[in-house]
Amino acid sequence: MRIGIGYDSHRFVEGRPLILGGVSIPYGKGLLGHSDGDCLCHAIIDSLLGATGMPNIGQLFPDTEQEWKGSKSTELLKRVVEEITQRGYRILWIDSVIIAEEPRLNPFIPAMKQSLKDTGIPPDIINIKPKTNEGMGFTGRKEGIAVIAICLLRENF
């Protein structure tokens, strides 16, 4: 068994859509990023990479390379899921926490799980929990969103 943890955060900016778990969420701002800024996918990616001992997301998909500019994070996640599967790992569970004061995310959780299914992560092995930060820190001041994700993998060797 392997366990991995991932973290990501992005600041809000005007003029971008808010994408989390591959789902466009109605809100006046989006997340700044070289890709689409989907910090849920990014945290999941880093948890999977950490569990397998692979390089982190910034090394695999550097923001200095045009190839990744504007990328859909679900496509990056799909690549990582395919890679770890080819290396002999199976995802048993992913647990994640999205830390955001706004917008309210509970109504979008089922759509996020369905969207992530297209990356190779079945909806019944992922938990997504939105939480506020009770007004504290950058998320509490509504400056951005942070995500923590943990995964459990089994080695199929």
| Cβ–Cβ under 8 Å, residues 148 and 46 | no
Residues 95-118 pLDDT 10s = 999 999 999 999 999 999 999 999
Domain boundaries, the chain: 2-155
Question: Could you say which architecture CATH assigns to the domain 2-155?
Answer: 2-Layer Sandwich (3.30)
Instruction: Determine contact, residues 30/17, Cβ cutoff 8 Å.
Output: yes
pLDDT surpasses 70 at 157: no
Give, rounded to a whole angstrom, the gap between the first and last alpha carbons of the chain: 11
Distances (CA, A) of 107 to 16, 25, 146: 21, 10, 18
Give the model confidence (pLDDT) of 51-94 as tens digits: 999 999 888 888 887 777 878 999 999 999 999 999 999 999 99
Other beta carbons within 10 angstroms of residue 28's beta carbon come to 10
Tokens 């996640």 sit on residue? 77
